[in-house]
Amino acid sequence: MSLKKEATQGSEVDEKLAALTTNSSAIRAIAGAVEGTLGPKGLDTMLVDKFGGVVITNDGVTILTLMEANHPAARMLINIAKAQQEAIGDGTTTATVMAGALVGTGVEQVLKGVPVARVIEGLRTGLEKALALMRMQARPVEKLDDPVVRQVALVAGREHGDIADLVVRAAGLIGREKLKEDPSFKFSDIVVAEESAENQVFMGIIINKERMNRQMPIELHRTKILIVDDALEPEEIDDEALSTETGFSRYLQLREEFKENVHKIAGMGVGLVLVDRGVDDLADEILTDAGIMVVQRVANKELRRAVEHTGAGVIKRTGLKKKVAGLEKYLGYAERIYNDEKLEQVWILGGGGKPMATVLVGAATSEVVGERERIARDAASSVQAAVKGGVIPGGGSMELAIAREVEKVREGIRGMAAYGVDCVVEALKRPMSQIIVNAGFNPLEKMGDVIAAQSETGKSSLAVDCDSGEVVDMYEKGIVDPADVKIYALKAAGEVAEAILRIDTIIKKREEKEVPPADSGISGL
């Protein structure tokens, strides 16, 4: 074969692998951005925007969503991390790190000459075995007073004992059944962090708005609640109609009807009115004179929680035309309502609907409020995941033990698909390796010690103590992770890795140009 022909064939191979190597580099760059945060000795990342705004965090999904990433493969990985956060609430860093390892090892195999199809085949086989083993090893959490629940909160809460205690107390108030069986309930949604607030858990909800004016009552007891999922304003008339005599008369009529409806509210013994949008000045005046607390522009999520907790029905402004007997059916109830002027919030306690708890996390300064809230939300999400799917030992111990079992699967596979199984093995080893690196130890040495100890004792819960560097039992040390977090992370990593490996060519889309509307006339004939 001539040198020219060899060079041509080499160029064709390089072009075919260009998409794969480019995408792999992007994935590894994203994984590299968060891997330093993994484990108890993981460090923080500072994100800075063009205006000088700073976010300092250890939270993987926060880093991924706030960082600038233009490469399409990088955005794919970030979207997978977001999906993990939405579904489970934690484990995004683990998913990202394992995805980076799967893609990186997969590309290495392809560059050695293994067909992509065979790599994917082996990858699927290895993942199927790993996921099955992980599900089998999960220990169920039968009771919320089990000490393992606090350990889950402590590990996910990055060793913040005060936050772990808050989360465990809130879990006890909510109950195991709601945490496990209610698919619409997300434990992390009840977490709120505020500067200068005291750490506490209480039965009730917080509305992050204040009463409309200081003439309204600051505190109410045993009162009725009306929730308006609309503006508390008269029905609107467009400007063109308003300019006519008929339109103006209609405007005055609507104003008068609205006034009557507001007086109707005032006469029903309502103490609190929550409004989705704005409140008309006339309504403000009437309700203030009646001693009613009004909160406007309430966030939709908070409005839904208020409905659930108080037992109120949602009503539109047109529904206010109903007779008093009809409106009474929409009213909710609360034992106590008060406006916290320091925190600029309205608290609703002892609602007449479903019992609901709130976790209030205090922060010393505004700079750490966001991070304290993220830590508490991670802890809450992990506790709920543990109640649903049980726990496994942490520190990467279970992943390493499963990697050793997946290696045995490789022995029974013929052909090049075995190289795809190797990708799964490397990905499973990656979390412990990175935790060891972040703790300041040599990963090759320490992982060798753990593998030898696991083989000798038969314990899959052995890993490295990040303080001493010794091999210890993660269960005995209280280092546990929710099984569902790890299972979802591995599945997510496998999905994005397969998607990336299957991309053979990258083509820039043409820009869509707006087509001018066709001329209805006939011209130019």
Closest CA to 467 of 488, 446, 487: 446
Closest CA to 315 of 345, 349, 270: 270
pTM of the model: 0.78
494, 405: one domain: yes
Domain edge (last residue) among 336, 363, 390: 363
Q: Is 316 left (phi over 0), alpha (psi -120 to 50) or beta?
A: beta
425, 314: one domain: no
Q: What is the pLDDT of residues 450-485, one digit of tens each?
A: 999 999 999 999 999 999 999 999 999 999 999 998
347, 212: one domain: yes
312, 403: one domain: no
Question: For 159-244, where are the alpha helices, taking DSSP H only?
Answer: 161-174, 176-181, 239-242
Q: What is the mean pLDDT of the chain?
A: 86
pLDDT value of position 182: 86
Q: What is the mean pLDDT of residues 429-445?
A: 93
Does a structural domain hold residue 480?
Answer: yes
pLDDT bin (cut points 50, 70, 90) of residue 185 is confident
Domain edge (last residue) among 319, 347, 363: 363
Could you give the number of structural domains in the chain?
2
The identity of residue 107, as a single letter, is: V
Structure tokens at 521: 């006339």
Within 8 A by CB and 6+ apart from 179, the residues are 144, 171, 185, 187, 383, 384, 387, 388
Strands 219-228 and 314-315: parallel
Does a structural domain hold residue 458?
Answer: yes
Q: What is the mean pLDDT of residues 120-139?
A: 93
356, 404: one domain: no
3-state secondary structure of 75: helix
Selected residue with higher pLDDT from 292 and 514 = 292
482, 436: one domain: yes
Long-range contacts of 260-267 (CB under 8 A, 24+ apart): 261/317, 261/320, 261/321, 262/232, 262/286, 262/287, 262/320, 264/320, 264/324, 264/327, 265/226, 265/292, 265/320, 265/327, 266/290, 266/292, 267/324
Domain edge (last residue) among 363, 383, 412: 363
- To the nearest whole percent, how much of the chain has pLDDT over 90? 48
Count CB neighbours of 375 within 10 A: 25
Tell me the CATH number at 494: 1.10.560.10
Q: What is the mean pLDDT of residues 322-346?
A: 91
pLDDT at position 80 over 90: no
pLDDT at position 443 over 50: yes
Count CB neighbours of 52 within 10 A: 6
What are the Cα distances from residue 16, in Å, to 1, 11, 417?
21, 9, 20
Does a structural domain hold residue 37?
Answer: yes
Q: What is the pLDDT of residues 349-367, one digit of tens each?
A: 999 988 888 899 988 877 7
Out of 115-124, 141-150, 197-206, 496-505, pick the least confident: 496-505
215, 96: one domain: no
Does a structural domain hold residue 524?
Answer: no
Q: What is the mean pLDDT of residues 108-126?
A: 91
Q: Is 243 left (phi over 0), alpha (psi -120 to 50) or beta?
A: alpha
pLDDT value of position 13: 46
pLDDT value of position 241: 63
Does a structural domain hold residue 299?
Answer: yes
Strands 54-57 and 345-351: unpaired
Q: What is the mean pLDDT of residues 247-273?
A: 86
Contact between 123 and 494 (Cβ < 8 Å): yes
Tell me the CATH number at 215: 3.50.7.10
Q: What is the pLDDT of residues 45-59, one digit of tens each?
A: 888 887 777 877 877
Q: Within the chain, what is the greatest distance between any pair of CA atoms?
A: 98
Closest CA to 273 of 191, 318, 334: 334
192: Cα separation from own chain's centroid = 14
213, 307: one domain: yes
219, 350: one domain: yes
Q: What is the pLDDT of residues 263-316, one digit of tens each?
A: 999 899 999 999 999 999 999 999 999 999 999 999 998 999 899 999 999 999
DSSP 8-state secondary structure symbol assigned to residue 186: -
Query: From CA 340, how far away is CA 206, in angstroms rounded?
Result: 10
Does a structural domain hold residue 153?
Answer: no
Does a structural domain hold residue 449?
Answer: yes
**Strand residues in 106-199 grouped as ranges (E):** 191-195
Strands 293-295 and 270-275: parallel
353, 407: one domain: no
List the domain range (segments joined by +) for residue 246: 200-363
307, 423: one domain: no
pLDDT value of position 7: 41
pLDDT value of position 506: 67
Q: What is the mean pLDDT of residues 182-203?
A: 87
205, 346: one domain: yes
Does a structural domain hold residue 291?
Answer: yes
Contact between 76 and 499 (Cβ < 8 Å): yes
pLDDT value of position 239: 65
pLDDT at position 1 over 70: no
